[in-house]
Amino acid sequence: MNQPKPISLYRARLGEGPVYDERNGLLYWLDIEMGRIIVYNENNGKEEYIDLKRRDYISSMCLSETGRLVATLRYGFYWVEADGSATPIAEILERRQDIRFNDGKCDARGRYWAGTMDLNETRAIGALYVLEGSALRPVLHNVTISNGIAWSLDNKTMYYIDSPTKMVKAFRFDLEKGQLGGSWIAVDMRHEEGIPDGMTIDSEGMLWVAVYGGGKVVRYDPSSGEKLEEIKLPVSYTTSVVFGGADMKTLYITTAGREEKEEAGRLFAVELPYKGVPLYRYREKL
């Protein structure tokens, strides 16, 4: 197995939310606490930055079908322009000082799923929401740190992480209605060092989970919960993952600059024998 290499010059305080644009060969990722989008160009290795004009968290993003950027800021979902301006699409009503949005992703119908978290990371005061067009509704309550989301290849199962549980939960998923059904534990990570963070799925239906505090990314079979293999990084705080590259065999890994290591907070890449699947895009009108 190849070893991950840091490819970014930028060092994030809290790197997160990687999104691959397969149409243009661009890798977007976020520095949540700085309110910054970093755009890495695969074709020439250059980086560009989009800084929010308003001081705010930016915790996840998706591309729309037309190529626009849509992101979660502290209390809602926004269009984000190249100059850093942000226009609200929908916001939550409860604006507590101790919560913010965290990870999110779009489903195959173009709905944007994202959840909130307790800034103290101890209380179940967050929730999972879904944005359908411009309509926002809560789906799950009593969440502590809403995190990684992925869907099975047949879109009949949604995988979801509430980080402190140290599990990947699976829900029966109704794609047409955008509703969750019965749930079960797909992966139990309570024996692992660190906590599960961001997540993606490959073309074989296997899950790739970034382990925050564990310094690794782990590949799991969600049908059995079996650990298949792991990729170690030279830093401890791995945060999220996404597949990219012309052949979708490059795994991009974001990290947090939470330690005194020169590579901490950088974007890593590793070439794998496995192939990813493109991310779904947000649809403004469903």
Q: Is residue 33 part of a domain?
A: yes
**Burial, 230: exposed, middle or buried (Cβ in 10 Å; 0-12, 13-18, 19+)?**
middle
Q: Is residue 197 part of a domain?
A: yes
CATH of residue 152's domain is 2.120.10.30
Q: Is residue 223 part of a domain?
A: yes
**Contact predicate 253/242, CB 8 Å:** no
Output the pLDDT for position 219: 98
Q: Is residue 277 part of a domain?
A: no
Q: Is the backbone of residue 163 left (phi > 0), alpha (psi -120 to 50) or beta? A: alpha
User: What does each of the 286 residues of the chain score in pLDDT, given as a tens digit?
Assistant: 689 999 999 999 999 999 999 999 999 999 999 999 999 999 999 999 999 998 899 999 999 999 999 999 999 999 999 999 999 999 998 889 999 999 999 999 999 999 999 999 999 999 999 999 999 999 999 999 999 999 999 999 999 999 999 999 999 999 999 999 999 999 999 999 999 999 999 999 999 999 999 999 999 999 999 999 999 999 999 999 999 999 999 999 999 999 999 999 999 999 999 999 999 999 998 7
State how many domains the chain has. 1
Output the pLDDT for position 119: 97
**Rg from Cα positions in the chain:** 17
Q: Is residue 17 part of a domain?
A: yes
Six token digits for residue 12: 């994030």
Q: Is residue 280 part of a domain?
A: no
Output the pLDDT for position 285: 86
**Contact predicate 148/208, CB 8 Å:** no
| CB-based burial, 66-92: b 16+ in 10 Å, e otherwise | eeebbbbbbbbbbbbeeebebeebbeb
Sign of CA dihedral 173, 108, 32, 26: positive
Q: Is residue 260 part of a domain?
A: yes
Phi and psi angles of residue 33, each rounded to the nearest 5 degrees, phi first = -75, -20
Q: Read off the pTM.
A: 0.97
Q: Is residue 193 part of a domain?
A: yes
Query: For residue 108, how far is the Cα from the chain centroid?
Result: 16
136: containing domain = 5-271
Six token digits for residue 267: 């974007």
Output the pLDDT for position 94: 83
DSSP per residue, 228-284: EEEEE-SSSBEEEEEEESTTS-EEEEEEB--SS-TTTT--EEEE-SS-B-PPP-B-S
Q: How far apart are CA 201 and CA 217, in angstroms?
A: 12
Residue 248 C-beta-side C-alpha neighbours within 13 Å: 15
